[in-house]
Amino acid sequence: QANAEWQLVIPKSQWKKTDPVRLVVIDNRLELGAARHGG
């Protein structure tokens, strides 16, 4: 599940500190990384 990986990368406590734009970029990278690993 992508949600599990997301929590490991960015804890909910840091969501508020992180810019929404950066979250989108990181999310896209996670999706690309998962695709490479066959996830």
The one-letter amino acid code at 22 reads R
Per-residue pLDDT reduced to its tens digit, 1-39: 555 565 556 666 666 665 666 666 666 776 666 667 665
19 lies in which domain range?
Answer: 2-36
Q: What pLDDT was estimated at residue 29?
A: 72
Query: What is d(CA 24, CA 4) in angstroms, rounded to the nearest whole number?
Result: 16
- How many independent structural domains does the chain possess? 1
